[in-house]
């Protein structure tokens, strides 16, 4: 009986945290750079990507998305930093609609209530 209650409680929590289930993990950002043919180094708050070519996809931290920077460096070009903005994750409204207070709290803890406003950027650069 006790095991059944624990299992049912876990199921309720898992099924009501929609944003965490569907959009959990690190957000991915696509960086495009037309006309750049040399490898670059990309630094995010999550990881450093060395010797990659554009276009490429990078991961950013889910926590503190607002104001997070993506910087790009290369030998011959100077790149403008990309500063992320956040928006409300649509799955969050699913939690509120079905009355999933527990799920909403889980989403708040994992910061899945927000996600990057844009997931694709064309990088701005100039010759050094």
**Number of domains the chain is built from:** 1
Residue 112 CB partners (closer than 8 Å, separation 6+): 17, 19, 20, 23, 24, 62, 89, 91, 92
pLDDT in tens, the chain (128 residues): 667 666 555 555 555 455 454 555 689 999 998 888 899 999 999 999 999 999 999 999 988 899 999 999 999 999 999 999 998 777 667 666 665 667 667 766 766 778 899 999 999 999 88
Question: What pLDDT does 116 receive?
Answer: 92
Helix H or strand E encompassing 4:
helix 2-16
pLDDT in the model for residue 120: 97
Q: State which residues form the domain around 76.
A: 2-127
Tell me what pLDDT residue 5 has.
Answer: 62
Question: What is the pTM for the complete model shown?
Answer: 0.74
**pLDDT reported for residue 10:** 56
């Amino acid at each position: 009986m006790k095991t059944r209650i624990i299992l049912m409680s876990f199921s309720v929590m898992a099924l009501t945290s929609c944003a965490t289930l569907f959009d959990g993990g690190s957000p991915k950002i696509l960086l495009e750079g037309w006309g750049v043919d040399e490898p670059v180094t990309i630094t995010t708050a999550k990881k450093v990507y060395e010797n990659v070519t554009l276009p490429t996809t990078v991961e950013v931290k889910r926590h503190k998305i607002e104001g997070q920077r993506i910087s790009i460096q290369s030998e011959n070009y100077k790149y403008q930093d990309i500063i992320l903005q956040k928006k409300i994750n649509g799955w969050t409204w699913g939690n509120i609609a079905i009355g999933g207070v527990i799920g909403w709290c889980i989403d708040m803890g994992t910061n899945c209530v927000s996600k990057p406003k844009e997931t694709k950027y064309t990088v701005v650069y100039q010759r050094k």
